[in-house]
Structure 1
Amino acid sequence: MRLDQLYYIVEVAQFKSISMAAERNYMSQPAISSSISKLELELGVTLFKRTNKGMVPTEIGKSVIEKAAGIIDKVEEIKNITRNNAMKLTGDISIAVEPSFCNTIMVNILTTFKYKHPKINLMVKVGESNDILHDLLSGRADISINLKTEQYVKSSDIIIKKLFKDNLMVIAGKNSTIGDKETISIEEALNQPVALYNTGYETKCGISQTLHKYGNLKVAYRFDNLNVIEKVVGNGTCISFVPKMMINYYKGSDSINTILINNASLEIEVIMVINKRHRISNIEKDLINTIKSLCQRCEFSD
């Protein structure tokens, strides 16, 4: 029995998938399958059964995997004891982030965390909140920061941690018909053509779910790139809705003006989400604490 075999069975159990365990360990699927088969042969038991829901542990497999996870935790504790300081910590963390958060608060989070742990490789993917959920559940992201949507409320496979609440505002081109205004009504805003941030073709993104409570959207464009949205808005072609956390991001822009809604509270909630099947490592715990700490300091916290 080898330690890597224990890692593999825990990973397969977490994601119910040999292919995902292989991807996360930079190995081929046959290599993972062979390793598990050899362990089953050595132990004389079957650890997994294939179902239409993926690789599911057998009853004896559940007990073995639980013990394996405990052994891995102890090994991680031993590694931490032998490290002289956090500067020597290495590893990868995959995090998926909603674009408005990525362009604002996430910058400080990355700077703070990388200063403490320069050898940790942070892989950040930017996406729309509902698409991020797919990455999280499939194991392609370890942690996500995004807007709370109906899809997150319905999912039973995740842990949701509230970070803060914010409100939506409008961004418009300075040369547009509303570009010189400081405030507008929600009715006037919804009467404008809108550009939505979508990494898929779904209309019900996190922002549009909030806006649909007040009326129908005149969706003119859907882009998966925030920079493209800014260019289209700056040209006066349409408006877009973004969280107020971005007000400083647009301050000083030559082409875009920020406009507040004066007769409706377009409240959104920013959350941190973790897959229940994902085992949180010590270094990920430190990242989570860094995220919580910096979000508590921001002016949008409540």
Structure 2
Amino acid sequence: MRLEQLTYLIAVHESKSISLAAERSHISQPALSSAISKLEDELGVVLLKRTNAGAFLTEIGEQIIVIAKEVLNKVDEIKSVAHGDSFELNGNISIAVEPSINITVMPEILTNFKQNHPKVNALLKVGESNNILRDVQSGKADFGIILKTDAFSSAKDLNYKELFSDELVIISGHNCEITSGSETMPLKKALSLPILLYNTEYITNCGVSSVLQKYGDINVSYRVDNLEMMEKILSQGKTIAFVPQFMADEYVKSSKIKKITLSDARLEVTILLIWLNRHHLSLVEKEFIKVIKSVSSKKYGENVTEE
């Protein structure tokens, strides 16, 4: 029995797919399948049920996976004790993040982490919160950083940490006709204006819309999945957007965009780090979580949620 066989078994358990597990483990599908088959032969049991819908653990496989995770955790502890601070982590981490996080927090997170762990490859994808949720649930991403949405609240089998909280504000072009002269605005008026959403679906289904729709119908005029396009459309002066305040503060550094606060409402949003319950946290990933929490606390300390 080899440690990589246990690692591959855990990868299949997390992704429910041999092909996806192989891709994320950076080996060929036949090689991964062969490694697990050899483990099954050695143990004399069937660990996986291979079906057209994916690969799933058998009853005995469910029992063995618990011990496999404990074994790999102990291996990480041994490496840490043996090498102390001189131990060089390596491996891959995939993370999907909401665009507001990508332009504000992620540069510092990735820079700090890479500086301390140069042999670790961090693979980053930017997307809307509900799409990220699906990527994490399907095993395509190890972690996600999202706005807390209704879809998250009804999801199962997820671990999460609340990083910090904030509130939605309005951004528009500096020369916007419909917000001219306004530094504050009532929520009812704002909802009646043409709204631009960062949304990666053709339907209106995102973290921001799930907050706004609690207060009435919204007038969606644009859905885009590109921040540069978002800024260009806003600068034309025909629409507004609701974004977290920390993202708005980044946008207003541009002379093209201004921020407007709501005069009669506080639309609170929570930023979450999420991962699957069944995902085994490696030593690399535990270190990555520490950096995410540290940078979030440093940048938005007054809003960081205590555990």
Preserved contact between residue 195 and residue 221 of structure 2 (Cα < 8 Å)? yes
**What amino acid is aligned across from residue 219 of structure 1 in structure 2?**
V
Aligned to 1:284: 285
Deviations 1:251-290 (A, max 9, x none): 3422111111111111111111111111111221122122
**What amino acid is aligned across from residue 104 of structure 2 in structure 1?**
T
CA distance in 1, matches of 2:216, 2:64: 54
CA distance in 2, matches of 1:143, 1:86: 26
How many equivalent pairs are there? Answer: 302
Aligned to 1:272: 273
Q: Which region of structure 1 is more displaced relative to structure 2, 256-265 or 1-10?
A: 1-10
Q: Which region of structure 1 is more displaced relative to structure 2, 23-32 or 260-269?
A: 23-32
Aligned to 2:224: 223
Matches within 5 A, 1:226-241: 226-241=227-242
CA distance in 2, matches of 1:219, 1:240: 10
Preserved contact between residue 166 and residue 243 of structure 1 (Cα < 8 Å)? yes
Match of 1:301 among 266, 283, 304: 304
Matches within 5 A, 1:103-122: 103-122=103-122
Preserved contact between residue 87 and residue 119 of structure 1 (Cα < 8 Å)? no
Aligned to 1:136: 136
**What amino acid is aligned across from residue 263 of structure 1 in structure 2?**
D
**What amino acid is aligned across from residue 190 of structure 2 in structure 1?**
A
Preserved contact between residue 98 and residue 146 of structure 1 (Cα < 8 Å)? yes
- Cα offset, 1:61, TM superposition: 2.2
- Cα offset, 1:52, TM superposition: 7.0
Preserved contact between residue 135 and residue 141 of structure 1 (Cα < 8 Å)? yes
CA distance in 2, matches of 1:108, 1:3: 33
Aligned to 1:78: 78
Deviations 1:121-147 (A, max 9, x none): 211111100000111112121111110
CA shift in 2, pair 1:282/1:234, >3 Å:
same
Preserved contact between residue 95 and residue 125 of structure 1 (Cα < 8 Å)? yes
Aligned to 2:99: 99
TM-score by length of 2: 0.91
CA distance in 2, matches of 1:153, 1:200: 20
SS in structure 1 of the partner of residue 270 of structure 2: strand
Aligned to 2:170: 170
SS in structure 2 of the partner of residue 21 of structure 1: helix
Percent of residue pairs identical: 47
SS in structure 1 of the partner of residue 215 of structure 2: coil
CA distance in 2, matches of 1:121, 1:179: 46
Preserved contact between residue 15 and residue 140 of structure 2 (Cα < 8 Å)? no
Preserved contact between residue 245 and residue 300 of structure 1 (Cα < 8 Å)? no
CA distance in 2, matches of 1:187, 1:67: 55
TM-score by length of 1: 0.92
Preserved contact between residue 235 and residue 255 of structure 1 (Cα < 8 Å)? no
Q: Does 1:197 align with 2:198?
A: yes
**What amino acid is aligned across from residue 133 of structure 2 in structure 1?**
L
Deviations 1:119-174 (A, max 9, x none): 22211111100000111112121111110011111111101211221111111111
Deviations 1:24-45 (A, max 9, x none): 1122322222222222222221
CA distance in 2, matches of 1:251, 1:277: 41
SS in structure 2 of the partner of residue 220 of structure 1: strand
CA distance in 2, matches of 1:130, 1:31: 33
- Cα offset, 1:66, TM superposition: 2.8
**What amino acid is aligned across from residue 301 of structure 1 in structure 2?**
V
Structure 2 gap segments, 5+ residues each: none
**What amino acid is aligned across from residue 194 of structure 1 in structure 2?**
I
State the Cα RMSD in Å: 2.0
**What amino acid is aligned across from residue 117 of structure 1 in structure 2?**
H
**What amino acid is aligned across from residue 78 of structure 1 in structure 2?**
I
Preserved contact between residue 97 and residue 144 of structure 1 (Cα < 8 Å)? yes
